[in-house]
Amino acid sequence: MGRIVVIGAGMGAMAAAARLAVAGHRVVVYERGETYGGGVGRWERDGFRFDVGPGVLTLPAVWRDLFVKTGKEALEDVVELVQVDPSAWHVFGDGSEAALPNASRAGVVAALDEALGAGAGARWGDFLVRAREAWDRTRRPLLEEPLWPNWEVLAGREPYPSVPHKRLLRTRRAGTLAEVGAWELRDARLTALLESHALAHGLDPRTAPAGAAVLPYMEHAFGTWYVRGGLRELARAVYERCLARRVEFVFGTEVVRVVEKDGRAVGVEVANTAQGSPAEGTSQGSPTERAPQPQGSPAEGTSPLATTIVDADFVVTGVAPGLLGVPARGEGEVGPQRGLPSRLSMLLALRGARPEGTPHRTVVHTPGRDAELASLFGPVPVPPAHPTVTVLRPDDPALVPDAGHEAMVVTATVPAGVEGDHEAAVDAMLTAAGRAVPELRERILWREVRTPADVAAVTGAEGGSIPPPALAAAEGRFLHPSNTTALPGLFTVGGWSHPGGGLPHAGMSGALVAGLIVEGLEFRGSQ
């Protein structure tokens, strides 16, 4: 079998590494940071533990499949999965509230009717039926199959079966998520519920295609889940599965370029840095190493960079685009999106116990939807004055030093690359969260703020941008580059390649890359 180098230890990269190792390949992962998981991190202080990255999990079947295909232990044997119920408590801009049951259409319909008035639940339920049709049409090409060579088919077809709408003597169908809300849901609060799923992924609902309806549908159909101990425990389980399959990890080592020979990727060049011991259960080094060829004279007054060439039969890169000079795809292919937003997060250590019956997840919607979207997606993006925030309050003793404290994470979508003082944005987020958490400011023991710069430091993405899931229609603007590249032997994995960002999508990208390498370019996805 072949020698494979994987660049980066993100979730998609580790998913690919485990599957490739099971297929008999010798796999080594080079990670420039000191730990695994990419954006699925953890921050600890004074006995408090916080997820840095996703706080809930949808479509857990993706990760169940990984564990079934790579060993005897199932996912539930190595982590404790619990359903989040209610799935979310929503506090709308007008002050009305609704708690939505997890994965129950009838329950959601009843809850919305009670909270928002008769008929609201039926309109949302009818929308979910149409969203399911969009999901059925796009599930395989957007999640389970490599990007089609004739991807233009996905670019032109709108999968969402919108309801005909008469407007100015014309019959029109919704082409964007915002139009679905305005024309089909016909309630500002239902529209906020719909658009919050796009906003959480950094998508502007005014330009996101109507097919983005699959985002709330995924949550509705497959439920919302939490991993006891935090989502970081999922990353730990995947990492340990890689170790069990004899994947090697080399941390604190940066890959500076992909080595090409005779029109094919034949290895990578890594920077030689001062190394400690490799992670427990791993070995330092790579399948084959040799001294690099001279790269020219160093600039006066500097020392030459010591590097090593690592030979490989295949290279899989999970890093953000542009970091390694990965060759452009073929003419006419889709490319990575630009100008995507990031996230601003507050990790709050609170005095006082978590009240009984507190929802795990609360979405506090902005009272000024148009102003928020104009701030985030305008010509000069700025953090909104009144943001939509997500408040995570897990019922998990592992996250706090004792029962007299609570760990809370408050997150908002903000523009990527915004530097300087975030105090105004943080204050706005605290004000928003305070609408759902009484006396929040008085309970704060201390706080840690995680900015787009922190996201960039962990992931390498420009400005801390976070990639959204791939979506059909809209002339392909919401598709991601294929997992194959213009350089034979080089494959891409993770959120910046097909099928895009999000934990389920990362797991699927790993499965797709493993299939393309093991079965060849004719691989068309699992059946």
Range from 4-8, 151-155, 266-270, 329-333 carrying the lowest mean pLDDT = 329-333
- Say if 350 falls within a structural domain: no
The per-residue pLDDT for 47 is 98
Looking at the fold, whether 211 and 109 belong to one and the same domain comes out as yes
Strands of 3-7's sheet in order across = 248-251, 26-31, 3-7, 314-317, 490-492
Instruction: Note the residue count of the chain.
Output: 527
| 295 contact partners, CB below 8 Å, separation of at least 6 | 304, 305, 307
- Say if 355 falls within a structural domain: no
Q: Which of 198, 221, 244 delimits the end of a domain?
A: 221
Residues 479, 155: contact at Cβ < 8 Å?
yes
Q: How confident is the model at residue 267 (pLDDT cuts 50, 70, 90)?
A: very high
How many Cα neighbours within 13 Å face the side chain of 239?
Answer: 24
Task: Convert the pLDDT of each residue in 285-333 to its tens digit.
Answer: 333 444 343 333 333 443 456 899 999 999 999 987 666 766 545 445 6
- Number of domains, the chain: 2
Strands of 361-364's sheet in order across = 97-100, 88-91, 361-364, 389-392, 405-414, 342-351, 444-450
- Say if 451 falls within a structural domain: no
Please say if the pLDDT value at position 244 is more than 70. yes
Looking at the fold, whether 151 and 243 belong to one and the same domain comes out as no
Looking at the fold, whether 203 and 242 belong to one and the same domain comes out as no
Q: Which of 221, 245, 265 delimits the end of a domain?
A: 221
Q: Which of 194, 221, 248 delimits the end of a domain?
A: 221
- Say if 253 falls within a structural domain: yes
Looking at the fold, whether 34 and 142 belong to one and the same domain comes out as no
Looking at the fold, whether 129 and 188 belong to one and the same domain comes out as yes
CATH label of the domain that carries residue 497: 3.50.50.60
The per-residue pLDDT for 325 is 65
Looking at the fold, whether 248 and 213 belong to one and the same domain comes out as no
Looking at the fold, whether 152 and 195 belong to one and the same domain comes out as yes
- Say if 28 falls within a structural domain: yes
The per-residue pLDDT for 338 is 60
Looking at the fold, whether 234 and 216 belong to one and the same domain comes out as no
- Say if 374 falls within a structural domain: no
The per-residue pLDDT for 71 is 94
As a whole number of angstroms, the distance between CA 143 and CA 258 comes to 27
Q: Which range marks the domain in which residue 329 is found?
A: 3-40+61-71+230-334+479-519
The per-residue pLDDT for 437 is 97
Closest by Cα among 124, 91, 86, 81 to 105: 124
Please say if the pLDDT value at position 334 is more than 70. no
Looking at the fold, whether 205 and 272 belong to one and the same domain comes out as no
Mean pLDDT of all residues in 52-60: 95
Q: Taking phi first (over 0 means left), then psi (-120 to 50 degrees means alpha), and beta for anything else, what does residue 90 get?
A: beta
- Say if 120 falls within a structural domain: yes
The per-residue pLDDT for 265 is 96
What is the value of pTM for the model shown? 0.92
- Say if 89 falls within a structural domain: no
Q: How confident is the model at residue 339 (pLDDT cuts 50, 70, 90)?
A: confident
The per-residue pLDDT for 294 is 36
Looking at the fold, whether 28 and 112 belong to one and the same domain comes out as no
Task: Convert the pLDDT of each residue in 195-211 to its tens digit.
Answer: 999 999 999 999 999 99
Bridge partners of residue 490, in order along the sequence: 315
Task: Convert the pLDDT of each residue in 129-160 to its tens digit.
Answer: 999 999 999 999 999 999 988 888 888 889 99
Looking at the fold, whether 198 and 109 belong to one and the same domain comes out as yes
Looking at the fold, whether 208 and 293 belong to one and the same domain comes out as no
